[in-house]
Amino acid sequence: MQGFPGVESIDVVEINPAYLDLTRSYPELAPLLDDPRIHIHIDDGRRWLKRNPHTRYDLIVQNTTYHWRANAGNLLSREYLSEVRTHLNPGGVITTNTTGSFDVLATVAAVFPYAYRYANFAYASDHPLTPDLALLGPVRRPDGSALALLAHARLDPAGAFIAAHHADAQVISDDNLLSEYRHGRRFGPEMLQALLPAEPAHFELDDP
C-alpha cells in the first residue's frame, strides 16, 4: 500500500480466515492489517457482492485458484462476471487470473466489450485499455520489480489471442461447469479420460 499512496480504500474479500493469521506471521505483510484503508471481509466473494449490491469499484482484482478445481467456476462463470460488471464504476477494470485457460478468456470477452490477455491474467472494461507506463514512475517498488517486464509485455485483445492459437474456447456458465468438467480429465482414471471430450491447449505466460 505504501507504493500506491493515491489509493483511498480497498475491500478485501477472503473466504479463509486463516489467511489473516498467516499474514500476521510475515513482518513485511503484517502492517497491511493495520492500514485504515483496508477493510477485510471473511466471506465468499460472489455472495459478498450479492449482499452489497450498491458497492462500486474502480478496480476489482481476483487471483482465483486453478480453473479446473472444484467450484472454481463460481468465480469464473458468465453469470458471476455479469454480476461483477454491475459493481464497476464507469471506466472501471476487472482483472482475474485465467490460470492459462482459454475458456476463462472467452468468458470474460463474452461479458465485457473490451477484454485483453496480459501474461496469465485477463483484463476487461467497458472502454478500451491502453497501458500508460509513465504512471508507474511515482510508484515506489522494491529492487527486481516487474517494471521491465511490464514495459515489454503486450496487452493482447482476448479474441485475437484466442484466434491466433486456434483454441476451441468456450464460455463458462453456472449450468455447464465447463472449467471443472472439461479439464478435470487430466486427473481422473484412464477410463474416465476416454469418455471426456478433448482438452484445448493452455497458454503459457510467455506465449506470443
Backbone angles phi, psi at 172, to 5 degrees: -80, 135
19 and 67 assigned to the same domain: no
pLDDT digits (tens, 9 = 90+) for 7-41: 899 999 999 999 999 999 999 889 989 999 999 99
Residue 174 in any domain: the answer is yes
Asked whether the predicted pLDDT for residue 207 surpasses 50, the reply is yes
Residue 24 in any domain: the answer is yes
Domain that holds residue 66: 45-130+147-195
pTM of the model: 0.82
pLDDT digits (tens, 9 = 90+) for 1-13: 556 678 899 999 9
Asked whether the predicted pLDDT for residue 189 surpasses 90, the reply is no
Q: Give burial (CB, 10 Å; 0-12/13-18/19+) of 170.
A: middle
The C-alpha atoms of residue 101 and residue 58 are separated, in whole angstroms, by: 25
Residue 62 in any domain: the answer is yes
